């Protein structure tokens, strides 16, 4: 069973390979990270770890029992008890419920370990898979947006709902 774990310094090579191998797959449904992201990946990785150490973000990798990197779930812009969640699952691993399970686990970590009370998410309108994951994990629509020129939706989840 895949495990969600925090990003570590020695994850750089595997994470870069994951992003490169799935770049076209991801770009079909979310805005592309751009060539700069890949050209300066090592510096970006160090910056992410510094943000995580400062508590401004929490980065997680979804790792198979074999050690293969299957996905990532990030909590970014942590402030005032809230954060934005984002997630990516490798193309060959999509459609198996991994994103739903990983987002559920990240929500539990956000509420418990990180002390957050609200998570936000965004996705493009045409990303039916992401919208389904958000619906299955308790996120509610919260408005329309534009993501790099594409129609998108904003979602919110209260991690401590009223009884």
Task: Give the list of residues 6+ apart from residue 98 with CB closer than 8 angstroms, or none.
Answer: 2, 62, 70, 71, 89
Residue 122 in any domain: the answer is: yes
pLDDT in tens, 25-73: 998 877 778 888 899 999 999 999 999 999 999 999 999 999 999 999 9
Residue 75 in any domain: the answer is: yes
Residue reference for tokens 């191998």: 21
Residue 154, token pair as written in the block = 């904003």
pLDDT in tens, 81-134: 999 999 999 999 999 999 999 999 999 999 999 999 999 999 999 899 999 999
User: Which helix (H) or strand (E) element contains residue 52?
Assistant: helix 41-53
| Whole-angstrom distance, CA of residue 76 vs CA of residue 55 | 9
Residue 39 in any domain: the answer is: yes
Indicate which CATH number applies to the domain containing 129: 3.40.630.30
Residue 163 in any domain: the answer is: no
Q: What is the pTM of this model?
A: 0.93
Looking at the structure of the chain, the number of domains it has is 1
Q: Which residue segment(s) compose the domain that 113 sits in?
A: 3-158
Task: Give the list of residues 6+ apart from residue 42 with CB closer than 8 angstroms, or none.
Answer: 12
């Amino acid at each position: 069973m895949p495990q969600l774990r925090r990003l570590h310094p020695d994850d750089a090579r595997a994470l870069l390979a994951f992003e490169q191998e799935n770049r076209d797959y991801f770009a079909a449904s979310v805005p592309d990270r751009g060539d700069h992201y890949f050209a300066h990946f090592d510096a970006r990785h160090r910056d992410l770890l510094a943000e995580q150490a400062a508590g401004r973000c929490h980065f997680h990798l979804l790792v198979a029992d074999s050690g293969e990197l299957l996905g990532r779930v990030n909590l970014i812009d942590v402030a005032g008890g809230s954060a934005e969640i984002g997630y990516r699952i490798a193309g060959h691993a999509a459609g198996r419920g991994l994103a739903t399970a990983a987002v559920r686990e990240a929500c539990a970590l956000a509420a418990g370990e990180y002390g957050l009370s609200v998570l936000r998410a965004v996705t493009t309108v045409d990303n039916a898979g992401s919208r389904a994951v958000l619906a299955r994990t308790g996120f509610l629509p919260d408005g329309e947006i534009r993501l790099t020129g594409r129609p998108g939706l904003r979602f919110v989840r209260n991690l401590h709902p009223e009884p």
